[in-house]
Amino acid sequence: MAVTDSLSRAATVLATVLLLSFGSVAASHIEDQAEQFFRSGHTNNWAVLVCTSRFWFNYRHVANTLSVYRSVKRLGIPDSHIVLMLADDMACNPRNPKPATVFSHKNMELNVYGDDVEVDYRSYEVTVENFLRVLTGRIPPSTPRSKRLLSDDRSNILIYMTGHGGNGFLKFQDSEEITNIELADAFEQMWQKRRCYHFSFSYNELLFIIDTCQGASMYERFYSPNIMALASSQVGEDSLSHQPDPAIGVHLMDRYTFYVLEFLEEINPASQTNMNDLFQVCPKSLCVSTPGHRTDLFQRDPKNVLITDFFGSVRKVEITTETIKLQQDSEIMESSYKEDQMDEKLMEPLKYAEQLPVAQIIHQKPKLKDWHPPGGFILGLWALIIMVFFKTYGIKHMKFIF
Partner 1 sequence: MGLLSDPVRRRALARLVLRLNAPLCVLSYVAGIAWFLALVFPPLTQRTYMSENAMGSTMVEEQFAGGDRARAFARDFAAHRKKSGALPVAWLERTMRSVGLEVYTQSFSRKLPFPDETHERYMVSGTNVYGILRAPRAASTESLVLTVPCGSDSTNSQAVGLLLALAAHFRGQIYWAKDIVFLVTEHDLLGTEAWLEAYHDVNVTGMQSSPLQGRAGAIQAAVALELSSDVVTSLDVAVEGLNGQLPNLDLLNLFQTFCQKGGLLCTLQGKLQPEDWTSLDGPLQGLQTLLLMVLRQASGRPHGSHGLFLRYRVEALTLRGINSFRQYKYDLVAVGKALEGMFRKLNHLLERLHQSFFLYLLPGLSRFVSIGLYMPAVGFLLLVLGLKALELWMQLHEAGMGLEEPGGAPGPSVPLPPSQGGKHTGPRQGLDGTEAGSPDLPSTAAGLHRPHQLLTGLPAGHHHGAHCCACQASWAPDPLCCPAGADQPGSHAPWQPVPVAGAAGGATVTGRGLAALPGSASPGCAGAPHLRRPALPTAVPGPLPLLAAFLECALLEVRSACPGWDRDSPRTPFCLLLGK
The CA angle 69-181-233, to the nearest 5 degrees, is 55
- Cα–Cα distance, 60 to 369 (Å, whole number): 43
Question: At residue 202, what is the residue type?
Answer: S
Reduced 3-state DSSP string for 35-73: HHHHCCCCCEEEEEEEECCCCHHHHHHHHHHHHHHHHHH
- Taking the least distance from each CB to partner 1, the nearer of 166 and 302 is 166
Assess 395 for contact with partner 1 (CB under 8 A). yes
Answer whether 201's CB lies under 8 Å from 178's CB. Answer: no
Assess 141 for contact with partner 1 (CB under 8 A). no
Answer whether 191's CB lies under 8 Å from 223's CB. Answer: no
- Taking the least distance from each CB to partner 1, the nearer of 60 and 70 is 60
Assess 369 for contact with partner 1 (CB under 8 A). no
Supply the minimum distance, in Å, between the C-beta of residue 117 and partner 1: 19
Catalytic site residue from 51, 213, 282, 287: 213
Supply the minimum distance, in Å, between the C-beta of residue 106 and partner 1: 11
- Taking the least distance from each CB to partner 1, the nearer of 41 and 244 is 244
Assess 316 for contact with partner 1 (CB under 8 A). no
- Cα–Cα distance, 348 to 127 (Å, whole number): 36
- Taking the least distance from each CB to partner 1, the nearer of 92 and 385 is 92
Q: Is 105 noted as a catalytic residue in this protein? A: no
Assess 99 for contact with partner 1 (CB under 8 A). yes
Assess 199 for contact with partner 1 (CB under 8 A). no
* Binding map of partner 1 across residues 106-125, x = CB under 8 A, - = no contact: --------------------
Residue from 43, 44, 55, 220 in contact with partner 1 (CB under 8 A): 55
Q: Is 213 noted as a catalytic residue in this protein? A: yes
State how far the alpha carbon of 231 is from the alpha carbons of 252, 293, 315, 392, in Å: 19, 6, 28, 63
- Give 111's strand partners: 103
Answer whether 254's CB lies under 8 Å from 66's CB. Answer: no
- Cα–Cα distance, 127 to 171 (Å, whole number): 10
Residue from 364, 391, 400, 402 in contact with partner 1 (CB under 8 A): 391
- Taking the least distance from each CB to partner 1, the nearer of 247 and 326 is 247
* Binding map of partner 1 across residues 229-258, x = CB under 8 A, - = no contact: ---------------x-xx-xxx-------
Three-state secondary-structure class, residue 399 = helix
- Cα–Cα distance, 375 to 385 (Å, whole number): 15
Catalytic (active-site) positions: 164, 213
Which residues contact partner 1 (rule: CB under 8 A)?
55-57, 92-97, 99, 244, 246-247, 249-251, 391, 394-395
